[in-house]
Structure 1
Amino acid sequence: MAEEKLELRDVDRALMHDDAKKPARTPTMYERLIQPCLAEVIGTTFFVFIGCVSVIENVPAAGRVQPALVHGLAVAVMVACMDNISGSHFNPPFTIAIYLCGGMQLTMVFPYLISQLIGGLLGAGMSKLMVSPGNYVNATGAAFDILKSDDQLQGALCGEIFMTCLVTMVVLLAAVNQKTKSPLAPFLVGCTVIINILAGGDVSGTCLNPARAFGPAVMAGYWSYHWVYWVGPITGGLLAAALVRLVLGDEKIRLILK
């Protein structure tokens, strides 16, 4: 019996040794390029869809709470489900900031941005098909129509910059920076979206995402002050990347004060 056990152990060791010799599987072209872009399209589509519907069908008594919870929970769910496929960006400022902090290759940046904008269009189109025409018109198709005059510009632009900086910083610290990386990243990002909407919804509408602004603007044909929802979020994303690169990042990411 002892001899048989020794032989079995030798066989097990040989098998383990053979497995160790096997080269790691190389991802296919589909897995490296096409699948991540499809995940960005699908994830952004459903995020924008559910976000638009929550605004169009918002119960007046709920105020900002309904859109805040819907957007935040949608982000958390989609990020958790697709993180290992594409990284779950679903937002151009996130993609730009993650690239600047070394979290993705330059060759994937442009395909991701295009995928997110396509997803924004599809999501907004799906919401238009779902809701009643009357509710759609009353809500301007969930396009950001809160800005009515130039007097509101400063507050709205600053709000989009600062709030996008906050949520992008959470993304970078929870999902990219090794020192602070956390399995709770989907929850943290979702919570940050919720608190941003609750805090600044009446100032700028709390877009924080050009893809979320672009799709409804196209579907509803509403472009007033649309540039705010590109300039603000992208500037906020760049500011967050600078904070992580210069101050908060680990030794691999931080450019100075090593």
Structure 2
Amino acid sequence: MAKIALGCVGEATQPDCIRALVVEFITTFLFIFVGVGSAITANTLLGNALVGLLAVAVAHALVVAVMISAGHISGGHLNPAVTLGLLFGGHITVVRSALYWIIQLLAASAASFLLSYLTGGSAIPVHTLASGVGYLQGVIWEIILTFSLLFTVYATMVDPKKGALDGLGPMLTGFVVGANILAGGAFSGASMNPARSFGPALVAGDWTDHWVYWVGPLIGGGLAGFIYENFFIERSHVPLPRAEAEY
């Protein structure tokens, strides 16, 4: 059973950690910029809700795949739920996880503020539950969608016996993000990512249902990481308590 590695405060000053944090900021910023930007465009230009949802799903799928690949130095988490899932699998320390969370939230906020400025103050779409969808339903939606995201990350990038899937992880992860948005976007918003919800909520000043997008993704991500690492991965040695994610 994988053990959570605590790490040490000194990690924050290590050159490899600093580089990873810079890369994580850049890739998360670009992910949020494209993701939220596509939502703004869909609301502005597309009158058909289904076409808008499809456009947002495709944009998220593409940018997730590219940013995970581009962010190989940091692991390309882009998402506090992914970081938590890898923490529960013993692939990143608690200290570096906290630093990643801070960076991810800062990047999401910066991207959302910049989008508000560049679009002339256009409304920034925030994640809220659809009419008729209760809190419990919303949380369950986010748990399942985020679980599928982390399960895919582990199966295609973390598992040492990924076989023919080796190298396809970023693309397949992007696919599952896009598919999940098509499945749950009309109900919970299909966030799967607390940072993706935090940035727009901060800029818009709208925190309606916001806690759902922390509770659901963190439970789903943490559960997927714990289950996959402890029940499906076969290792000849336990994961080293290194400071970076072993994608």
Task: State the TM-score, normalized to the length of structure 2.
Answer: 0.83
Q: Distance in 1 between matches of 2:94 and 2:158?
A: 16
Q: Which runs of 4+ in 1 moved over 6 A?
A: none
Partner of residue 94, structure 1: 82
Tell me, yes or no, if structure 1 residue 60 matches structure 2 residue 80. no
Aligned pair count reads 219
Cα deviation, 1:103-158, whole Å, max 9, x if unaligned, reads 2233311111111111110111121112243xx23xxx121134456x52232211
Shift, 1:247, TM fit: 2.0
Shift, 1:239, TM fit: 1.4
Instruction: Say which structure, 1 or 2, has more relative contact order (CA 8 Å, 6+ apart).
Output: 2
Contact 1:93 1:233 in 2 (8 A): yes
Highest Rg: 1 or 2?
1
Aligned residue runs from structure 1 range 125-144, under 5 A:
125-133=113-121, 136-137=122-123, 141-144=124-127
Equivalent position to 2:67, from 62, 78, 89: 78
User: 3-state DSSP class of the match of 1:63?
Assistant: helix
Letter of the 1:81 counterpart: A
CA spacing shift, 1:169–1:253, aligned 2, 3 Å:
farther
Letter of the 1:144 counterpart: H
Q: Distance in 1 between matches of 2:196 and 2:103?
A: 12
User: 3-state DSSP class of the match of 1:57?
Assistant: helix
User: 3-state DSSP class of the match of 2:134?
Assistant: helix
Partner of residue 101, structure 2: 113
Contact 1:117 1:214 in 2 (8 A): yes
Contact 1:97 1:168 in 2 (8 A): yes
Q: Distance in 2 between matches of 1:143 and 1:36?
A: 28
Equivalent position to 1:232, from 216, 228, 235: 216
Partner of residue 176, structure 1: 158
| Seq. identity, % | 32
Equivalent position to 2:180, from 162, 171, 196: 196
Letter of the 1:60 counterpart: G
Contact 2:151 2:225 in 1 (8 A): yes
Q: Distance in 2 between matches of 1:235 and 1:92?
A: 11
Q: Which runs of 5+ in 1 are unaligned?
A: 1-28
Q: Distance in 2 between matches of 1:103 and 1:242?
A: 11
User: 3-state DSSP class of the match of 1:239?
Assistant: helix
Q: Distance in 1 between matches of 2:238 and 2:176?
A: 23
CA spacing shift, 1:132–1:106, aligned 2, 3 Å:
same
Cα RMSD for the two superposed structures: 1.8
Cα deviation, 1:181-238, whole Å, max 9, x if unaligned, reads 7211110100000100011111100000000011110000000110000000000011
Q: Distance in 1 between matches of 2:18 and 2:47?
A: 41
Letter of the 2:114 counterpart: M
Letter of the 2:118 counterpart: M
Q: Distance in 2 between matches of 1:214 and 1:44?
A: 13
Partner of residue 250, structure 1: 234
Contact 2:129 2:138 in 1 (8 A): no
Q: Which runs of 5+ in 2 are unaligned?
A: 1-12, 240-247
Q: Distance in 2 between matches of 1:145 and 1:53?
A: 17
Q: Distance in 1 between matches of 2:159 and 2:90?
A: 9
Q: Distance in 2 between matches of 1:82 and 1:125?
A: 22
Letter of the 2:127 counterpart: F
